[in-house]
Amino acid sequence: TVGMETPLIITDYNLVIYDRWGGVMFQSRDQFTKWDGRMGADLVQSGVYIYDVTFKSPEMEFMHYKGDVLVLR
């Protein structure tokens, strides 16, 4: 699964997973909801997917992380 694991209280959380063409595969504004490799009820194909996560830290700093995850079936 892809998502945040933190005991800190964060706000304005947004996680987006994109396919290689830039299509949105998953989006969550709940820091406790993670992507499980599905689009709706269907498993995604093997491949590289891009994650983009933003949030405000407890110090109210805007944080932005992005990278990729490889799905193998």
Q: What is the pLDDT of residue 46?
A: 97
pLDDT by residue for the chain (73 residues), tens only, comes to 888 888 888 999 999 999 999 999 999 999 999 999 999 999 999 999 999 999 999 999 999 999 999 999 8
Q: So what's the pLDDT on residue 1?
A: 83
Task: Report the SS3 class of residue 9.
Answer: coil
Query: Which pTM was predicted?
Result: 0.90
Structure letter (DSSP) for residue 3: S
pLDDT for residue 8: 84
For residue 25, give the DSSP letter.
E
For residue 35, give the DSSP letter. B
